[in-house]
Structure 1
Amino acid sequence: MAYYKKRSNGKWMYTVSLGIDSLTKKQKQKTKSGFATKKEAMAAARIVEAEVENGAFINETKMTFEAFTDDWINTYSQNAKISSVRARNKEMKHFISVWGPYPLKKITKQMYQKKILELSQKYSRNYLVGIHACGRMIFNYAVELNLIKTNPTESVQLPKYQPKIEDIENQKEDIKFLEKEELARFLRFTASDGLEMDSLIFTTLSYTGLRIGELLALKWSDFDEYKGSLRVTKTLYNPRNNITEYVLLPPKTSGSVRTIRIDEQLVKMLKRHEVKQKEIKLKKGQNYTDNQFIFARNDGHPQLRKVVEIRLKRILKKAKITKNITPHSFRHTHTSLLIEAGVGVKEIQQRLGHTDVNTTINIYAHMTANMEEKASHQFSKLMKDLL
């Protein structure tokens, strides 16, 4: 039964019983004021009573948006990768900056859609998709906990992206790789002008198609000199490029766990490196942190990705290669060489650790198109010379 009262300001309020709290054993109540007449208060109270009777009543939280997201990210982090948690933290800050102190229950679909439209003017489509996915997870969780009645992200549409013609015309290819002759020149310079481990690092990347995180996470137990293979079971996560603050995580996908066969030349390079590393361990003694990393610094900690990137630019400059090559480009370079060698899509998928064959097919199609274009240019040049 509901109770009604006229307040000193002339407005009416209602109080509805919600039953006994199972934990505190005390009476729970829902009170709301601000009604101009008793009749309005009674109509609103009847809706609440009907919801309570049907088991559909939700006593929406007074918690602020920022306080709730703190709880949500703590729960989310229990079953997510560190890299995913870091991404979600970054994405949800776009909402906290606007709604932080605002009550969670007060955020409407109109407010959410407006914010998404604003963000679409600042960020790429891919990043916007990530922000929206984060928003949906936050509000879905609030609905699951019965803290809000409706999800403001429900049915919200992302703005349709319309690229400008000049952007399409000026768009550069996403997939960068070295041609066979360029790779040969690059590796010659790593051998003659490279710093410590440069030759081994870039040869391994070129000959295996490993991701840089997979390479830096390799331990000597992953290397089988007799079978001539490397076992990929983990990846190194170190976003701050801190010597000691790294984490070993499972690979990117389930298909990324794999064994890669390597050629005799790389096996010999790894064996020579192992001997040299043991000499460093003896020399450093207790100053060497031995975690059995293959690509370890002289203190035993795994090499930093930033160092690899800096050294890559140094050698590219010496080799007079002007392409914007990154450590990941060697993965595409390896793919292009496999295609040129006649290796099939399925075998490439397994070697690169792609769970989704479409990923391999997309790269395969891009590389093949590039080779066809190159062949066309070479043919045109030949005919021009003849004529």
Structure 2
Amino acid sequence: MEIYKRYQKKEPKKFSWTYRIRYYDENGKKKPISKSGFKTSKEARIAGGIIELKYNQSGISEKENITFHDYAQSWIDTYKKDHISEHSYYIYSLIPTEIKNCFHETKLKDITKADYQNMITAYGKNHVRESVSKMNSRIKAIVQEAVDERIVYTNFTHNISIASKVASKDAGLKYIDEIEAKKLKTLCLQSLDMNSIGNYEIVFGLLTGCRIGEVSGLTWNNVHFKNKTVSIVNGYDYNGNNGFKDTKTESSNRTIRISDELLSILKKLKKQQRELFLKQGYRDIDNLVFRNGNHQIISDNAVNKSLTTKLRDKVKSKNIITFHGLRHTHASILISHGVDIAYVSQRLGHKNVAITLNIYSHLLQKAKSQQEEKAMEILQSELN
């Protein structure tokens, strides 16, 4: 091991101490490892000694000098790319960019806990606490793998302070009330045609609680007019144009009952679609329900934009929701009218009732209060 002074180019009189170690890789090729920035030769020698000990005990990884953001990208490509949904992979793909914006070309092994805390603190200035926590959890898994590979010795993401200067959205903002839902449905029903397929989707989402991917992936084969049901068996990659994909979870595959009103709306759409496609000489081999007059499945962004415009300009709602908010609206209406939570859970395609209870706990608390009042009225009148 070599220990020497390294002078700064811009300020020749200033220097720091550096260690350099030469080792042989798996192919017998001699390679150097060095690190500078130590205030004293003793500090450099101790740090270099740790690396030498590591080399003697378990060898040195080829990734020893990998940057933080390159390691994160490599981990995501290896463990996530072909194992999670397109949307989830997109979320993970943002992580290396966040890391590079903060650490640039800093090597993973050179990141300290204080450095990482500064990154998370900066991230919290523009994101809600939940997002900050999720970001930390994902990066924690990445760094843990680096610990397992012996690139770093400890996981510097442990016991990090999670904070945010952005207020979390109130649960009430995620859905609209029943009066607003009626106004929205009426507004969409006024313009149901192939050029405004989003109106069909909004009504369908409102009356079924389906996710946007489930709506986009619905085929006419899975609309059962006689039984008054629809079967949810596919999602759809409307962003990557890769066609069908699996539903979010295994429990998302379900068959749900639909109202006579929605059956009539779907019959109207099928008639419009059949007549237009016949005129155009077009045949949809996928037999998709919500393919528009241009033979496209519109994106979630397009639907959300239309939904926002309607809620803001026509319904005059203070609660501007996304398509997923229609799912919460559907559930809230059923819960508020006393529909059994187990049925609501199955209808939404949740894995178990506990998930539903957790998501809609605030609504259930309100329903509980109403049920308590009803129970007291019964006990008061029937036992007197």
Unpaired runs of at least 5, structure 1:
376-387
- Residue 248 of structure 2 corresponds to 252
What is the CA-CA distance between 1:350 and the residue it aligns to?
0.5
SS at match of 1:294: coil
Q: 1:297 to 1:54 in 2, by over 3 A?
A: same
Q: Is residue 271 of structure 1 aligned with residue 267 of structure 2?
A: yes
- Is 1:178 aligned with 2:195? no
CA shift in 2, pair 1:57/1:313, >3 Å: closer
Aligned equivalents of 1:95 and 1:32: distance in 2?
23
- Give the match for residue 308 of structure 1: 303
Tell me the distance in 1 between the aligned counterparts of 2:245 and 2:34: 50
2:142: which partner in 1? 138
Q: What CA distance in whole angstroms lies between the structure 1 residues aligned with 2:3 and 2:165?
A: 56
Whole-Å separation in 1 of the counterparts to 2:318 and 2:47: 68
Does residue 125 in structure 1 map to residue 129 in structure 2?
Answer: yes
Matches within 5 A, 1:90-129: 90-129=94-133
Of 186, 192, 198, the residue aligned with 1:188 is 186
More deviation, 193-202/103-112: 193-202
Query: CA offset at residue 343 of structure 1?
Result: 1.9
Match runs of 1:16-31 below 5 Å: 24=27, 26=28
- Name the % identity: 24
- Alpha-carbon offset, residue 351 of structure 1: 0.4
- The one-letter amino acid paired with 2:351 is T
CA–CA distance in structure 1, aligned partners of residues 122 and 244 of structure 2: 37
Give the 3 Å change call, closer, same or farther, for CA 37–157 of structure 1 in structure 2: closer
Deviation at 1:352, TM superposition (A): 0.8
Ranges in structure 2 where 5+ consecutive residues have no aligned partner: 8-16, 372-384
Asked if 1 retains the 8 angstrom alpha-carbon contact of 2:180 and 2:317, the reply is no
Matches of 2:159 and 2:222, distance apart in 1: 47
Q: Which moved more, 1:267-276 or 1:123-132?
A: 267-276
**CA distance, structure 2, for counterparts of residue 72 and residue 118 of structure 1:** 23
Contact persistence 1:12–1:41 (CA under 8 A): yes
Match of 1:328, SS state, is helix
- The whole-number CA distance in structure 1 between the counterparts of 2:174 and 2:358 is 11
Query: Structure 2 matches for 1:196-211, cutoff 5 A?
Result: 196-197=196-197, 200-211=200-211
Report if the CA contact (8 A) 1:289-1:299 is conserved. no
> What pairs with 1:220-259 in structure 2 (closer than 5 Å)?
220-238=220-238, 245=241, 248-259=244-255
Q: Distance in 1 between matches of 2:333 and 2:349?
A: 16
1:213 counterpart residue number: 213
State the TM-score, normalizing by the size of structure 2: 0.74
2:172 is paired with a residue of what secondary structure? coil
Shift of 1:27: 6.1
Cα drift, residue 225 of structure 1: 2.3
Q: Distance in 1 between matches of 2:302 and 2:56?
A: 65
Deviation sequence 1:200-235 (CA, Å, 0-9, x none): 433322221112221122111222223222111233
CA shift for structure 1 position 296:
0.8
| Matched residue, 1:159 | 162
Matches within 5 A, 1:48-63: 51-52=54-55, 54-55=57-58, 61-63=64-66
Structure-2 residue corresponding to 1:280: 276
Counterpart for residue 293 of structure 2 = 298
| Aligned partner of residue 190 in structure 2, secondary structure | helix
After TM superposition, the structure 1 stretch with the greater mean CA deviation from structure 2, 123-132 or 306-315, is 306-315
Higher radius of gyration, 1 or 2: 1
The Cα offsets for residues 308-340 of structure 1, whole Å up to 9 and x where unpaired, read as 334435554686443434333332332233224
C-alpha distance in structure 2 between counterparts of 1:33 and 1:308, whole Å:
53
In structure 2, what residue type is equivalent to 1:174? L
- Aligned match of 1:64: 67
Which amino acid in 1 is paired with 2:307?
L
Shift of 1:43: 8.2
Query: How many residues end up aligned between the 2 structures?
Result: 358
* Pairwise CA distance, 1:298: 0.9
Alignment CA distance shift 1:65-1:264 (3 Å): same
In 2, the alpha carbon distance for the partners of 1:37 and 1:97 equals 30
Amino acid at match of 1:259: T
> C-alpha displacement at 1:99, in angstroms?
1.7
Please state if 1:349 is matched with 2:349. no
Residue in 1 aligned with 2:376? none
| Cα deviation, residue 42, structure 1 | 9.2
- Which of 79, 98, 118 is residue 83 of structure 2 equivalent to? 79
Corresponding residue number in structure 1 for 2:380? none
Amino acid at match of 1:351: R
Q: TM-score, normalised by structure 1?
A: 0.74
Task: Give the residue type in structure 1 aligned to 2:76.
Answer: I
**1: CA distance, partners of 2:246 / 2:149:** 31
- Aligned counterparts of 2:198 and 2:102: Cα–Cα separation in 1: 47
Q: Which residue of 2 aligns with 1:382?
A: none
